[in-house]
Amino acid sequence: MPSEDVLNLDAAGRRLYDDLAAETDPYSLTTLIVEAARTKDRLDKLDQLLRGEIETWAVLVHDLRTEDYELKINSAAAEARQLASVLRQLLAEIQRQKGDGGGPDEQSDDLAGLTGT
């Protein structure tokens, strides 16, 4: 398992990592778990931004070629939706690899032995 300083996770990401990671996990699974934890931390930061707790929602950019200024608005809501979807996919894959997913493949196997004869 990676050391805590290598992971550089915030509190929520660390909790998710601690909940999912095991010493016996293969490296490929540990990589998914680390990415899920980082994604959780990013989602929390985007949530803070959307609630107004962080004031970096816009940036004033100076174009030196034209001396114009441009206000760039952060698309935090769209990014949060995308990251939430990514986190769901990562967690589903982690559960599948750990064998406790209960996903569609396992459900269809239960019906595989049934015949209409």
Q: What's the pLDDT at 108?
A: 39
Q: What's the pLDDT at 115?
A: 42
If one counts every other C-beta atom within 10 angstroms of the C-beta of residue 66, the result is 8
Measured CA to CA, the distance from residue 68 to residue 31 in angstroms comes to: 43
Residues recorded for the chain = 117
* Residue 85 predicted with pLDDT over 90: yes
Helix (H) or strand (E) holding 71: strand 68-73
Q: Are 41 and 10 in contact (CB under 8 A)?
A: yes
More confident residue, 67 or 106: 67
* Residue 33 predicted with pLDDT over 90: yes
Q: What's the pLDDT at 5?
A: 61
Q: What's the pLDDT at 52?
A: 78
Q: What's the pLDDT at 83?
A: 92
Q: What's the pLDDT at 27?
A: 94
Distances, alpha carbon 32 to alpha carbons 6, 73, 91, 99, in Å: 15, 31, 8, 15
